[in-house]
Amino acid sequence: MRAYRLAEAAEQDIFSLSEYSIEQFGEAAMERYLHLISIAISELCEDSKRLGVREFAEDIKMFHLRNSREAVQFPPGKVGKPRHLIFFREAKDGALEILRVLHEQMDHQRHLDE
């Protein structure tokens, strides 16, 4: 499987959504969501052109977490309605670089420009 790296912004995104999830939905829901993110990244590492991957910008692609929802096994269980997208690109060394993990309703371009 291909290697991947999380950009600092992606790490912060995951930390923030973890905090929000635990506050709003509880620890079990937060664990399910983090597991879904992990599954999605693994699937992208296996095939970065898989069904559901869309072009966002010249060298940036996006992938909605709902596209990996069915791959999650029990436990920890499936996420009812995933709301985040993974933004990534292929690094020069062949690794997958995860740039951001953003809510579907955010201004994606603005956050990627930061």
Taking only the tens place, the pLDDT of each residue in 26-70 is 999 999 999 999 999 999 999 999 999 999 998 999 999 999 998
Q: Indicate the domain borders of the chain.
A: 4-113
Residue 67 forms beta bridges with which residues?
Answer: none
Class of domain 4-113 (CATH, top level): alpha beta
Retrieve residue 2's tokens: 């291909």
pTM here is 0.94
Q: Which residues of 37-72 are buried (b: 16+ CB within 10 A; e: fewer)?
A: bebbbebbbeebeeeebeebeeebbbbbbbbbbeeb
Closest CA to 37 of 64, 2, 16, 59: 64
